Amino acid sequence: MPALPPARHAVLDLIRRGERTVNTLAEQLRISDNAVRVHLIALERDGLIKRSGIVRSGTVGQPAAEYDITPVGEQELSRAYPAALAALAAAAGERLDARARRALFLEAGKRLAETTSSGDSGSLQDRAESCAALIDSLGGRTSVTSTKGGVMIEGAGCPLATAVRGEPSTCFMIEALIEAHGGVHAEQLCTHGEKPSCRFRVTF
């Protein structure tokens, strides 16, 4: 998801802080009610907020809808996830042997796949393209090409680059994600080091 415009980010942050109606948001931001409604419609459409109730005042007038932030909205406001994943991956690298690290990240990748819609239908090319689109949705930039030994998913960079630099085993998360999402076998051929990039050979 693209970065939120500053005004929309401010609305989301105020909702997190407890300002949950059009009127209170407009007062805090010093903009019109209609301008607030435009932002709320967009935030609700993108799943960042949800309607949580109705406020009924004692005065004449329409009841006011209350809004609350969703888990997706909380993630949008957080900048901790990349750093936290990198720290966790580094700790796993220091405390676990290679076999245990692989098992840990494979399990994490399978669990991540459970949060996505399935892409395990159609030809091998169709499945690879679905997997590539999923990686792109996580921040990757991939291309899919047919080869003699299967189909290659190649990325310009890696959506988990911050963690992979410190612990290359983190790539097993993407491997498991591809296999679980596409119902295929994925052979990891990734580039690690300072400029990690995804590269997986996908076969049945």
The per-residue pLDDT for 56 is 72
**pLDDT, tens digit (0-9, with 9 covering 90-100), for 17-56:** 999 999 999 999 999 999 999 999 999 999 999 999 888 7
Region 157-176: what's the mean pLDDT? 96
Res. 199: pLDDT tops 80: yes
Architecture in CATH of 81-203: 2-Layer Sandwich (3.30)
Entry pTM: 0.83
What are the residue boundaries of the structural domains of the chain, listed by start? 6-77, 81-203
Instruction: Tell me which of 3.90.550.10, 1.10.10.10, 2.102.10.10, 3.30.560.10 is the CATH number of domain 6-77.
Output: 1.10.10.10
Angle at Cα 141 formed by Cα 139 and Cα 143, nearest 5°?
145
CA-CA-CA-CA dihedral for 7, 12, 15, 20, to nearest 10? 70
Residue type (1 letter), 40? L
Res. 89: pLDDT tops 90: yes
Residue 173, number of CB atoms within 10 A of its CB? 25
